[in-house]
Structure 1
Amino acid sequence: MDLDAVRTFVAVVEAGQFHAAAATLAVTQQAVSKRIATLETTLGVRLFARTPRGTQLTREGHVFLPHARELLAAEARALNSVRLDRRPLRVDVLSSRIGPAHVMREFHGAHPEIGISVVTHLFDVESALAALRSGAIDATFRAVTRPEEQLGGDIAAIRVLDDPVELLTGHAHELAGAASVTPAALAAHEVWMPSNVPGAEWSSYYEALSARFGLTIDTVGPNFGIEALLEAIAGSSTLATFVGEHIRLVWPSEYDLRRIPVRDPMLVYPHSMLFRIDDPHPGLAMLRRYLRSRKEHYRRPRAWTPSWAVH
């Protein structure tokens, strides 16, 4: 089986559209379509249903997805057996859209001599920890919600990025014209986050946020991806969602969405970098030094974050 095709399949699932996956993989959209067609021919099934609004997995695509991710994890383990001076630093950022990817782009700009392989197919922190311990990756950016359970004597975590929370609304929303909004003011409004699945670290964060400030976060409904979420919010006068300040979002101009900072207090999402203490990769040492040098730029010690956040 062509692993480039498998990697492309996972990229399309995560990006939601062929053209977005092409941008992530730095290939043409035609190349993405060809790889998916080759994979579908190999498997003898359709993996995607193409619609005017994007791409959706078929039933067979849903069945194949966990196996595709395991194939890529096996590839990563094989690559990790190669000498350190011949392989790139493998860093899991969860998604190419969010804050940790922004940090790694800055690191690459400061140290282009360090080879980097960015990983985005590890959905949950347990999978990321397993990949760390197996040597499949060298580092992962995560919110550590149960440090006593998740961090053994072999894994270290350093808090590296406090990503300020913003409210995303359509132009007709009651808060659309606000320069900023307080958590107390948000208690009167419903926040819609269908991507908050049970057990995910971001779900734990927003559960703690809701409990602390009396917010209502609605997770009902299928998660059709960020593009569908943006479309729904743009067409509503009541829907709103939370996003991180560093997340990269692009939408049609007619959506006229508003990103509103949350202040008094500022809310931040606490990204930590996890790594194996005995990992000798020279690029990891460089990354750790870089993050320490940028600590004041990335950290916001006076902002609110859950009590479980790594300090």
Structure 2
Amino acid sequence: MDLDAVRAFVAAADAGQFQGAAAELSLTQQAVSKRIAGLEKELAVRLFTRSARGVRPTVDGQAFLPHARDLLAAAERAAASVRPGSRALRVDVIGRRLAPAGLLRDFRRAHPDTPLDVVTLFDADAAIAAVRSGTIDAAFRAVTRPPRELPEGIEAVRVHDEPIQLLTGPGHALAGARSVAPADLAGHRIWMPGIVTGTEWAAYYDALADAFGMTIEATGPDFGTEPLLDTIADTGSLATLVGEQTRLVWPADDDLRRIALRDPVPVYPHSLIWRADNPHPALGTLRDHLAAARAGADDGATWTPAWAG
């Protein structure tokens, strides 16, 4: 259905004359009359009774009028859903309990009027492809390739370094430590069944294990966070690694211990990825917010893989 004709019909019904509708739509009276005539032909009904005093909707016109208004409202909602500045900023995070989701919560508190649409894609390759196609506006990911190897028009800037912690149960040999050096984890079994070969997080933990002589096991089924925590709590032989800002909840009886890693502090390098020609105004606001937050961070003695720069 021709929405311009529907818009002319609604304007004429509201104005009670074609001339008033023409003035509202910045058209000639002849153009309004032609559009409405075309709509009447398409619907095979007369929509107006015409007289010297103006126009009045017929019974069919009165029946069609609320649906016509709904059509125009739906068209506006559809356009707003993809119009920069009107639609929400679509951002990918690696997980809703992980640090990037927390960065977005901080951004939302600082800019409460900025609508956000948060999605979770599988890995960095999927996120970069989605940014490139315009499916999303930005993504928080570790970027394992140099900038020159990113697709043309794709930009990436490191925005947040998240310290990695050791998580143990109460019976683990390191459970009483306030902090542990990464090199001291050599010989201890680190269990991370969620690691998927070929992903950016697998690349990070492979580099971490190689740098400090750790053994990180990814064997066994990944049933999710809660079964992993239950296993760590019940055994003294296994521990795992988590981000400092990863949100975890466990029963008090599990008595799990989050232990800082020091000398150096391994940090996970979160980058923001976006398309250079993306005009969404909130994207610039998000980038400025992240840059300001990073400027106030104390890097200290940290470690990241060589590919993180």
Bin of the TM-score, shorter chain as denominator length: 0.7 to 0.9
Superposition TM-score, scaled by structure 2 size: 0.72
Partner of 1:172: 171
- SS of equivalent to 1:85: coil
* Alpha-carbon RMSD: 1.7
Is 1:226 the equivalent of 2:225? yes
Match of residue 89 from structure 2: 89
SS of the residue 1:247 aligns to:
coil
Give the superposition deviation at 1:298. Answer: 4.5
CA contact (8 A) 1:99 1:244 kept: yes
Unaligned stretches of 5+ residues in structure 2: 1-77
Which residue is equivalent to 2:98? 98
Contact 1:90–1:119 at 8 Å: present in 2 too?
yes
Q: Is 1:194 matched with 2:193?
A: yes
Q: Report matched runs for 1:81-160 at 5 Å.
A: 82-120=82-120, 122-148=121-147, 151-160=150-159
Give the letter for the 1:215 counterpart: M
Aligned match of 2:305: 306
| Cα deviation, residue 94, structure 1 | 1.6
- Cα displacement string for residues 40-73 of structure 1 (whole angstroms, at most 9, x for unaligned residues): xxxxxxxxxxxxxxxxxxxxxxxxxxxxxxxxxx
Counterpart CA distance in 2 for 1:172 and 1:286 is 47
- Greater Rg, structure 1 or structure 2? 2
Which stretch has the larger CA shift, 131-140 or 149-158?
149-158
1: distance between equivalents of 2:158 and 2:300? 11
Tell me, in whole angstroms, the C-alpha distance in 1 between the residues paired with 2:199 and 2:98. Answer: 16
**Is the 1:144–1:150 Cα contact (8 Å) retained in structure 2?**
no
CA distance in 2, matches of 1:103, 1:116: 12
**Structure 1: segments with no counterpart, 5+ residues:** 1-77
CA distance in 1, matches of 2:302, 2:172: 26
Q: How many residues align?
A: 232
> For the Cα contact (< 8 Å) 1:164–1:245, is it kept in 2?
yes
Q: Deviations over 1:227-271 (max 9, x none)?
A: 110000000011100000000000011110000000011110000
Q: Do 1:160 and 1:298's aligned partners in 2 also have CA atoms closer than 8 Å?
A: no
Mapped partners of 2:131, 2:196: distance in 1 = 23
- Equivalent residue number for residue 59 of structure 1: none
TM-score normalised to the size of structure 1?
0.72
Whole-Å Cα distance in 2 between the matches of residues 166 and 274 of structure 1? 25
SS at 2:265's partner residue? coil
Cα distance in 1 for partners of 2:80, 2:185 equals 46
Contact 2:81 2:88 in 1 (8 A): no
Q: Which position in structure 2 is the counterpart of 1:278? A: 277
Query: How far apart, in 1, do the equivalents of 2:170 and 2:273 lie?
Result: 39
